[in-house]
Amino acid sequence: MSSPLFVLLMGPQGAGKGEQAKFIHQQYGIPHVSTGDIFRGMKTREDDLARQVQAIMAAGQLINDDLTNQVVANRLAQSDCANGAILDGYPRTPNQAAFLDAYLQERGHALKAAILLEVDPFTAFKRAFGRVTAANGDSYNIYYRADGLTVRHEKSPNDEYPPKVVAVLPSGEVLKRRPDDADAHAVIVRIETYLRDTQPLIEYYAQQGSLLHRVDATQSIDVVSQAIKTILDE
Ligand code: AMP
Q: How confident is the model at residue 148 (pLDDT cuts 50, 70, 90)?
A: confident
Among 9, 34, 35, 93, the mutation site with the greatest number of ligand 1 atoms within 8 A of its Cβ is 35
- Tell me which residue of 139, 144, 120, 128 sits closest to 187, measured CA to CA: 128
Does the C-beta of 60 come closer than 6 Å to ligand 1?
yes
Among 61, 62, 190, the mutation site with the greatest number of ligand 1 atoms within 8 A of its Cβ is 62
pLDDT tens, position by position, 161-184: 778 888 999 999 999 988 777 788
* Distance of CA 157 from the midpoint of ligand 1 (Å): 32
- Does the CA dihedral 213-233-103-74 come out positive or negative? positive
Rounded CA gap, 190 and 181, in Å? 10
Does the C-beta of 217 come closer than 6 Å to ligand 1?
no
Which pLDDT belongs to residue 1?
53
For atom 15 of ligand 1, the residue with the nearest CA is 36
Domain with CATH 3.40.50.300 in the chain: 5-120+184-233
Model confidence, pTM: 0.85
Q: How confident is the model at residue 147 (pLDDT cuts 50, 70, 90)?
A: confident
End-to-end CA distance of the chain: 17
Could you give the angle at which helices 17-28 and 221-233 cross, rounded to 10 degrees?
A: 50
pLDDT at 87 > cutoff 90: yes
Q: Which residues contact 88 (CB under 8 A, 6 or more apart)?
A: 9, 17, 18, 21, 32, 33, 34, 35, 36
CATH-assigned architecture of domain 5-120+184-233: 3-Layer(aba) Sandwich (3.40)
Backbone angles phi, psi at 77, to 5 degrees: -80, -10
For atom 14 of ligand 1, the residue with the nearest CA is 36
* Distance of CA 166 from the midpoint of ligand 1 (Å): 25
